[in-house]
Amino acid sequence: MAYSGGVALISVLPLLAIIPGAVLALIEIIFLERYQDVFSFLALWVPVFTVLTAATWLLLVAGCIRLVADMITPGYFPHTGKVAWATWLTEMLLQRTLISTYPIYASCVTPWFMRLLGVRVGRNVEISTMESIPHLTSLKDGSFLADHSLVASHRSGFGWLNVGTSVIGERTFVGNSAIVGPDRDLPNDVLVAVLSSAPHKAPAGSSWLGRNAEPIARAQANADDDVTFQPPRRLKAARAFVELFRVVPAMVSAWIDLLIVFTLTSIYMAYGQGLSGVLYTFLWSGPVLIVASTLACLVPVLVKWSLMGRFRAGERPLFSSFVWRNELADVFAESLAVPSLVRLSIGSPMFNMWTRLMGAKIGRSVWCETWWLPEFDLVELEDRVSVNRGTVLQTHLFHDRIMRLEPVTLEQGSTLGPNSFVLPGATIEQRSTVGPGSLVMRQETVPADGNWGGNPIQHLEPGDQAISSQTVPGPPVAGKPVPFYSASNFRMAPWSTTADQENSQEAMK
């Protein structure tokens, strides 16, 4: 019942967020007699309605998360308890904000919103799209959290939930889809790379890579603090001015929706209302929606070429017009194109056509099932390439607050498995396959005609499976020796009991 109530609450909150703007609009239009006058007024009202609805939604989310925060305390709890429910509700609400109010993320507003949720946020912190349990998270001065990073995220298994605090130290960088689990703290100036997990104890100034984190070397940037960690007020003001326009895509979306309703209403009125009006409205609804969706996809194309032109390899500091304009163009794509036709068309020639309009170099017979091609002009997919769902062709990195752009190339017949990352400057050569959940390193070249996988990737023999950074032999293959497991090379999960281990050893015999 508790989870059913949570689902109902999550469904009702967006409706509650609409009420203030709808009431104010209703007061003005209730006495209008012509539907044309109603739509004219609503079109003028869109900017106010959009901002008011978004603000109300965010306040409602923050209020709900604050309300259940006292129920979530560090420790181990059963999956069926109130702590598990409160954790689930908190994470679900945060995920909804990532979709419904995407423009506020990766902006100067994000730290303020996180403070509203309960996160302890220091000065000059940069947050992209972090997911966390807010009141258990602390971000020190100058820290940076990239897209889809998880901080103080819960750990669950075997009917138990582990919740704990996380502290991110000063000038520490947590990369895309990196995980800082419960009861994991990072000291100052640490780097946790893309698709990696924070180690249990990391020395200050260290860098880590992989789900089973291993230390790596890191080149230090010599950028001016004025455009990275300690920007002056004039640069902060300039950034805020550019980011004010992030609300425009939501307004454009509302205007397009209003145009759809106005067009269908006009058709209904033109064909005599009644049953005939309903029939003609139904027949015209398909073409009207297709035209509106196409318009929503073309607007980001025009914005991208107007704001950015063609992307080229290079370096840009965080506090530069290039970075702000790039983020603004991305908001237009994510808010307009993706919800309309892009999400529906991935893996189809229609999607390939749109990515070509955005600047990507797409060959013939390409299967591309992801829209995460950050800087389109730097992506090249040659003939018969397959890019599976949930993958990211990452054409930039952002550690040390310097945006480094490099091209990503997949040569003829190559395949990138689901939920994998390819970092800037990497090339997958002809007919090679990179398995699911893998990480292709920066400036890495994957040789032709091979099978690769893991985080980071390594060569796989036929039948092998890559699990994180370990290779697990697969079933017997003709001409290959049968893998042998013994007590020395068979490892149980860390939470297994002595009885589990004895049973497993007996099974191996």
User: Is a pLDDT exceeding 80 seen at residue 299?
Assistant: yes
| Contact between residue 269 and residue 35 where contact means Cβ atoms under 8 Å apart | yes
> What integer is the mean pLDDT of 467-477?
47
The phi, psi pair for 404, rounded to 5°, reads -105, 115
Q: Which two three-digit tokens encode residue 252?
A: 């454009």
User: What is the per-residue pLDDT for 318?
Assistant: 94
User: Is a pLDDT exceeding 60 seen at residue 508?
Assistant: no
Q: How far apart are CA 29 and CA 159, in angstroms?
A: 54
User: Is a pLDDT exceeding 60 seen at residue 208?
Assistant: yes
Lowest mean pLDDT among 195-209, 246-260, 371-385, 452-466: 452-466
Tell me the one-letter amino acid at 435. Answer: G
User: Is a pLDDT exceeding 60 seen at residue 485?
Assistant: no
> What integer is the mean pLDDT of 382-401?
93
Q: Which two three-digit tokens encode residue 99?
A: 């979709």
CB 137: neighbour CB atoms within 10 A?
A: 23
Sign of CA dihedral 341, 346, 352, 357: positive
pTM of the entire structure?
Answer: 0.87
User: Is a pLDDT exceeding 50 seen at residue 38?
Assistant: yes
User: What is the per-residue pLDDT for 466?
Assistant: 56
What confidence tens digit (pLDDT) does each residue in 116-160 have?
999 999 999 999 998 899 999 999 999 999 999 999 988 988 889
User: Is a pLDDT exceeding 50 seen at residue 477?
Assistant: no
Higher per-residue pLDDT: 480 or 166? 166
Q: Which two three-digit tokens encode residue 88?
A: 């689930």
Query: What are 234's strand-pairing partners?
Result: none
Lowest mean pLDDT among 361-365, 439-443, 469-473, 491-495: 491-495
Query: What are 168's strand-pairing partners?
Result: 139, 186
Give residues with Cβ within 8 angstroms of 191, minimum separation 6: 172, 173, 175, 206, 207, 208, 218, 399
CB 478: neighbour CB atoms within 10 A?
A: 5
User: What is the per-residue pLDDT for 274?
Assistant: 83
User: Is a pLDDT exceeding 60 seen at residue 391?
Assistant: yes
Q: Which two three-digit tokens encode residue 276?
A: 């005939």
Q: How confident is the model at residue 17 (pLDDT cuts 50, 70, 90)?
A: very high
User: What is the per-residue pLDDT for 503?
Assistant: 40
Mean pLDDT of the chain, nearest integer: 89
What confidence tens digit (pLDDT) does each residue in 396-421 have?
998 889 999 999 999 999 999 999 99
Higher per-residue pLDDT: 499 or 185? 185
User: Is a pLDDT exceeding 80 seen at residue 214?
Assistant: yes
Q: How confident is the model at residue 31 (pLDDT cuts 50, 70, 90)?
A: confident
Residue 334 CA: distances (Å) to CA of 111, 146, 483, 500? 21, 17, 47, 47
Shortest CA distance to 195 belongs to which of 215, 213, 181, 207?
213
Query: Following CA atoms 272, 278, 279, 280 in sequence, which dihedral angle do they give, to the nearest 10 degrees?
Result: 60
Q: How confident is the model at residue 502 (pLDDT cuts 50, 70, 90)?
A: very low
What confidence tens digit (pLDDT) does each residue in 237-267 have?
999 999 999 999 999 999 999 999 999 999 9
Q: How confident is the model at residue 464 (pLDDT cuts 50, 70, 90)?
A: low
